[in-house]
Structure formats: structure tokens, C-alpha cells
A = this chain, B = another copy of it.
Amino acid sequence: MKITLIGAGNVATHLALALKIAGHEIDAVVSRTSLSANKLADRLNNTMQADGTCTGVCNDSALTKAFTIEDFKGNDSDIFLISVKDDAVRELAQRLVPLAPNALWVHTAGSLPMDIIEAEHVGVFYPMQTFSIDKHVDMTKVSLFIESKTCEEELLELARSITEHVYRLDSEGRRHLHLAAVFACNFANHCFALSETLLKEQGLPFKVMLPLIDETADKAHAMSPIDGQTGPAVRGDEGIMDSQLELLADKPIYAEIYRLMSKSIQTLSNNNR
């Protein structure tokens, strides 16, 4: 399948690399700034031309072809993957879809419904992962969620060429999934970050915490996190909880989080009995 990527940020970059490894032809990377396009182009080791506002990166061929909004019509990709900031997807699609109305138009956002793109053939291709531009991610292990009314098979095939963890999920289900991911990833990472801050104050390097963090993640493979909960709250150890809250006396947000999380741990544990 011939693919054009719209976007050159974290998700677009990791997807582009994974798609290339899977043997797909990436016709072009279209990006808002030549800087980000350059960066992804470097990564894909390809030639690239920029026109300042909209940059086309030609890939896997000797051709060097500059895309601008004006000559976008010349693009014969089967799939256009829109992987930009969530709040830019709708407007960008409105502007670009008319330039290739028969292609399959797909976005990669967990939090957006499929119909945010208006086109004959639309879909969603959501790799549920936390991407940072300079951190390698093994895409073969990513959970990938796809949705499409008219082109489900094509998207399933594309997804399965990257990872074996492919799921069909509609927009409403994906909305809940994305919320669950915010808890499991963003909020868990914030717990690490608060821990990092507490360690720093004691002059302790964050690396002392890594074996514990690794085991906490590893344990989620072996048992349900609900069942595997440990710590003073689930034991109902009021003595330690009071003593730890004392240490947070000058950190009201930390103390509030401590109280709320402890309460929630106890509630979930009681519900689960």
C-alpha cells in the first residue's frame, strides 16, 4: 500500500519508521514546518524538498517530488494517515480531503471519533503508546486499534503488518480506551514524577526507584493490578499513612493526592472482596 503521512511529530515519526520496516511505500511526509519534515526525512534517510509551509518527503524511490497544497492532487497514495495534534485534524482534513477524494483518509488519535474526518472512505488507526521523538519504541509490541466502515480489511492488514496486537474498536469504545490509557500511562508516569521530586529533595538519584518501577509494571503481566495492590493503604495501615502524611505537610497537592489515592485504593479493595 502506498501511504502519505500528514504530520511529522512523535506518533507520525514512529509510525513512519514502523511502516517502512514493514515494507510499505511511504510516498510522502507532509508537514507544517520544514524543520520537523527535515528531521523525519533524516530518519527515513531520504531526499526531501521543502517549500516553507508544506513539505513533501519522497521515500523509497529515486524520485524527488515537492508537495505543496497546490500540487497535492498529483499524489496517488492509497492511504492518507493524518497524525497531527488532535485539534488540528478536523480542519486539516477539510482542506486536504478534496485533493484526493477517493483515497482512504485515516487519523491516528485515540480521543477523536472517526467522523471528525469527512470523506468517502474514512478510518482510524490508533497505536496506543506513549511516544517520545528520541526514544525507540518496539512497534511490534504496540496495541493497535482500528476502525472503518468501508475499508476495515485494508486497515486490519496494514495494522497486522506492524504488530500482532490488533483490535477492532468503534469510536465510543476508543474514547473509553483512551481514558483508561490516561490513567495507566499519564497518571502512572506522574506518580513516578512525584516520586522523583521527593527523592531529589533527599539527594537520592531517581535510578534507585527503577527496579521497583520495573517490577510494578512486570507484576501487571502476572496478576491483575487490582489483586496485586500492595502498600499501607490496602493493608489499612493508618499508622504509616499518618506518618507519611506528616512528611507532606508542606506539600498540599502531594498530601491531597496521597489521601485521595489511599481512599480510592481502599474503596476498590472493598468493592473487590
Contacts and interface: CB of A to CB of B under 8 A. Distances in A.
A3 to B, nearest CB: 23
Interface of A: 86-87, 111, 128-132, 135, 137, 141-143, 165, 167, 169, 173, 175-199, 201-202, 204, 206, 208-217, 219-226, 228-234, 237, 239-240, 243-244, 247-248, 253-254, 256-258, 260-261, 263-265, 267-268
Oligomer copy total: 2
A214 B128 contact: no
Given A179-B248, A195-B184, A267-B253, A216 B189 contact: yes
A166 to B, nearest CB: 10
B213 A220 contact: yes
B219 A202 contact: no
A224 B196 contact: yes
Given A180-B198, A215-B137, A253-B264, A186 B240 contact: no
Contact of A197 (B128, B216, B244, B268): B268
Given A87-B239, A228-B132, A230-B186, A176 B191 contact: no
6 contacts: A177-B208, A188-B188, A188-B213, A190-B225, A197-B226, A257-B264
B188 A209 contact: no
Contacts of A210: 143, 220-221
A154 B111 CA distance: 55
B244 A220 contact: no
Contacts of A209: 128, 143, 180-181, 184, 220
